[in-house]
Chain A
Amino acid sequence: MGAAVRMYLVPIMVSLLVLVMTGCASIKLIADYDEQTDVAVTQFQRKMETFLFALERNMGENEASYGSNAKFYDEVRVDLSAIRVRAAAIPQNDISMQQLSLLADNINNLEKLHKLGLGVNDIPPVRNAFNVVCTAILKLEIAKKRGKS
């Protein structure tokens, strides 16, 4: 084995051995799975889907106007704030935090659209956006289980 390889390899091997022998036999680069985040994001998606179905059913009626639904935006912001506070308390959870910020931004966008006046053709792209974001957040959260059920 060449001197250069030995020069780099030996320190790496020693470091790895120290890691293993000091009980640090495995490393963790990203947060652990959090069941409460999983459940809360799933509930958020369900709430959003229920809201969108109700808007579709009542489109053109007063029930679908922004004024009749302004309270919904306050509620989901509170829901999302609770999820974000919890996620922020979990170490190495930066990626999930960024995703939750994007989800919050999409709530702001939906509210702006609603204030402009929603039509039937606005619902499919809105539904897709929220479903894609929630799926992405849940996909990563579940992957954090690292093969454990």
Chain B
Amino acid sequence: MAAIDESQLVSKMLGAAQGVLADKWPEARDYAETEFKKLAETIAFIEAQRALGQMSDEKACLHLNMQENSAKTILLTLEGLGILAVEAAINAALDVVKEAVNSTLGFALI
């Protein structure tokens, strides 16, 4: 029975994990940019309305609190997407172990 090459296995696991993480980031970045742009435009609108005297300070405060809550939900989504990416990376690395074990044993144990 062939021995498992530990360093090669680690390298493959890292490669699998990095590939998964790199694939996920552009999608998350595009989403964050789009949503934060909407929030920035809305905050500028609120401030302009307040400066023109079209919106009271009390109402501007409530509006800004709503936008702040919105920003927090975006950040929470990004946190969740990050966790999912890490999960996928760990599972990709586990798949490499599975392949290595089966291939070393010469039959599909796992």
The chain A residues found within 8 Å of chain B, CB to CB, are 1, 6, 9-10, 13, 16-17, 19-21, 25-30, 95-96, 98-99, 102-103, 105-106, 109-110, 112-113, 116, 119, 121-122, 124-126, 128-129, 132-133, 135-137, 139-140, 143-144, 146
Contacts and interface: CB of A to CB of B under 8 A. Distances in A.
A30 B46 contact: no
A25 to B, nearest CB: 6
Given A25-B94, A136-B35, A99 B77 contact: yes
Contacts of B109: 21
B22 interface: no
A27 B94 contact: yes
Top 4 nearest A-B pairs (CB, nearest first) are A136-B73, A129-B66, A132-B70, A102-B69
B83 A125 contact: no
Interface in B34-87: 35, 38-39, 42, 45-46, 49, 54-56, 58-59, 62-63, 65-67, 69-70, 72-74, 76-77, 79-81, 83-84, 86-87
Given A17-B97, A116-B56, A121-B54, A143 B72 contact: no
- How many chain B residues sit at the interface, stated as a range, is 35 or more
B70 to A, nearest CB: 4
Contact of A109 (B66, B91, B98, B110): B66
Among B67, B70, B77, B80, find the residue whose CB has the most chain A CB atoms closer than 10 A. Answer: B80
A133 B69 contact: yes
B65 A109 contact: yes
B97 A16 contact: yes
B70 A28 contact: no
B101 interface: yes
Contacts of B101: 17, 20-21
A56 to B, nearest CB: 16
Contacts of A25: 94-95, 98, 110
B63 A20 contact: no
A109 B72 contact: no
Interface string B2-41: 0000110110000000000000000000010001001100
